[in-house]
Amino acid sequence: MDIEYPDILGEVTSARQRYEAGAVQYVGSFSREAVASGEATELVLLLQSVVDVPMDVTLKLSVPVRTGGLRSRPSQLKIGETETTVPIKPAEVGELRIPIQTSAETPSATYEIKLEITGTPKASANRIRAQQSKGRLGETILRDTVGLSLASTIGVGFTARPGNKLSFKFTVTGEEGNAQEIDLAPTFTSLWTLEDWDLQYRAGREVNERRAHIVPYLVPEAIYVPLLDEGRKRFADAEIVLRVGEAISLAKILTHTVSYFMRNADLQDGLLIPVYMQAYPHDLPTDNATWLVIEVGYSRIVRLAIALSFALVESALKRQPWLLDEQRALADFVVGNLESGHSLPVEFLYLPLLMGGALVTREVVMEGEDPQQSLQMLAQAKKERAQDFTGEAAETSELFDSLLARV
């Protein structure tokens, strides 16, 4: 391949294994694996072109007409079209949703939907995505990389197995749902096109050309105080006025996160390329690396810090208290509220950012700082937040206190 385009599937799904049928790589699942009678689900297919020309993705679905077993009954399942053709642009990646409607008379059972799929180029084509890749992320403490713009920039590794026939199962429970008719037409949403590649290529080239000038301005001594000040401002906009211990701990986990990704050129690309891509459409200057990463890239640093904090907490506890879906939802909520200025509950400052900050307190130490004193100020700040840790938040409070006692 003259040019290998980024793996976007790894950005939206944690599945390191996907399938390849003709000129398309794909991953599939149901939006809801269990529904009540009368409700609907969707077969969600993530489609990624591996060629540099337009193509048609043809899908054939087989929906069971009856339940299995000796007492077989009509399934009463509805689908818009059993055959669908989706036009895909060169190198495009997108999401196809195919609704499946049950009825009030659909028997409770597990139903198997069979899929046959192939991607057919419309002209002579060159391959532009690999069938397998190790990626450049390397060994990492991160348990989850979905949504972190790492798969799309440096790659996290995947394997595509040949296969044009798959089956997917969902269950109709014995409960009676809210029966409603829905639009059964499939919908396709584009997630990535060659226009995105133009930005990424430009960003990658600039980062590589200016790397020697960028790195010295992103060392802990250069970014700690600006991150501390920016944290105070951003969280104040979300109606959280940081106490001294909280501001220090937040600055520590954000500084630790930047340092984690500045360890080598591959990780630097993973941190920096999305920030530069964010700057270009707004014609923002890119010659001041410290300003660019902290001002333009603040949300990115927070999102990466949340993922890293969850990993640090899990490592300290030697267990995984949260599902990956919960971690992603929390990251979306925190970053979304910081960007919009909507009120953020204090619990989600501590979970997981200040938990992570506490765990790296003795690793990120500024000149003249006493880490023990910083921990004491954090403990005092948490004590003064007692009213914010009642009800369901009490569990977060107990976990934070136990982690703080370990440091």
The DSSP secondary structure of 317-336, one letter per residue, reads: HTS--S-HHHHHHHHHHHHH
Provide Rg for the chain, Cα atoms. Answer: 24
The predicted pLDDT at position 209 comes to 98
Q: Are residues 317 and 186 in the same domain?
A: no
Domain membership of residue 3 (yes or no) is: no
Domain membership of residue 334 (yes or no) is: yes
Tens digit of each residue's pLDDT (9 = 90 or more) over 325-381:
999 999 999 999 999 999 999 999 999 999 999 999 999 999 999 999 999 999 999
Q: Are residues 181 and 39 in the same domain?
A: yes
Q: Are residues 249 and 271 in the same domain?
A: yes
Domain count, the chain: 2
Q: Please report, rounded to a whole number, the percentage of residues in the chain having pLDDT higher than 70.
A: 99
Q: Are residues 156 and 211 in the same domain?
A: no
The predicted pLDDT at position 69 comes to 64
Q: Among the three residues 161, 192, 223, which one is the final residue of a domain in this structure?
A: 192
State the residue range of the domain holding 267: 198-406
Q: Are residues 303 and 393 in the same domain?
A: yes
DSSP SS3 for 58 = strand
The predicted pLDDT at position 374 comes to 98
CATH number assigned to the domain comprising residue 51: 2.60.40.10
Domain membership of residue 2 (yes or no) is: no
Domain membership of residue 1 (yes or no) is: no
Domain membership of residue 327 (yes or no) is: yes
pTM of this structure: 0.95
Q: Does 58 have pLDDT greater than 80?
A: yes
Q: Are residues 318 and 362 in the same domain?
A: yes
Tens digit of each residue's pLDDT (9 = 90 or more) over 185-236:
999 999 999 999 999 999 999 999 999 999 999 999 999 999 999 999 999 9
Tens digit of each residue's pLDDT (9 = 90 or more) over 84-127:
999 999 999 999 999 999 988 899 999 999 999 999 999 999 99
Q: Are residues 158 and 220 in the same domain?
A: no
Long-range contacts of the stretch 62-66 (C-beta < 8 A, 24+)? 62/113, 62/114, 62/115, 62/116, 63/100, 63/111, 63/113, 64/111, 64/112, 64/113
Q: Among the three residues 192, 221, 252, which one is the final residue of a domain in this structure?
A: 192
Domain membership of residue 4 (yes or no) is: no
Per-residue confidence band for 3, with pLDDT thresholds at 50, 70 and 90: confident
Q: Among the three residues 177, 192, 207, which one is the final residue of a domain in this structure?
A: 192
The predicted pLDDT at position 133 comes to 96
Q: Are residues 205 and 162 in the same domain?
A: no
Q: Does 177 have pLDDT greater than 80?
A: no
Give CA separation, 304 vs 148, 154, 164, 328, 332, in Å: 7, 15, 36, 11, 11
The predicted pLDDT at position 298 comes to 98
DSSP SS3 for 118 = strand
Domain membership of residue 93 (yes or no) is: yes
